[in-house]
Amino acid sequence: MTEVLSSRVICHTETLAGLRHFYEGTLGLRIYREYGRHGRVSGVVYFLGGGFLEVAEATRSSPPLTLWLQVPDVGAEASRLEALGVEMIQPPTSMPWGLVELWIRDPQGNELRLVEVPADHPLRGRVD
**pTM for this prediction:** 0.72
Q: How far apart are CA 79 and CA 92, in angstroms?
A: 10
What's the pLDDT at 91?
97
What's the pLDDT at 42?
93
Domain with CATH 3.30.720.110 in the chain: 71-120
53 closest CA partner among 90, 10, 92: 10
DSSP for residue 11: E
Mean pLDDT of 51-70: 86
Mean pLDDT of the chain: 89
Mean pLDDT of 74-93: 94
Q: How far apart are CA 22 and CA 5, in angstroms?
A: 28
Top CATH class of 71-120 equals alpha beta
Helix (H) or strand (E) holding 69: strand 65-70
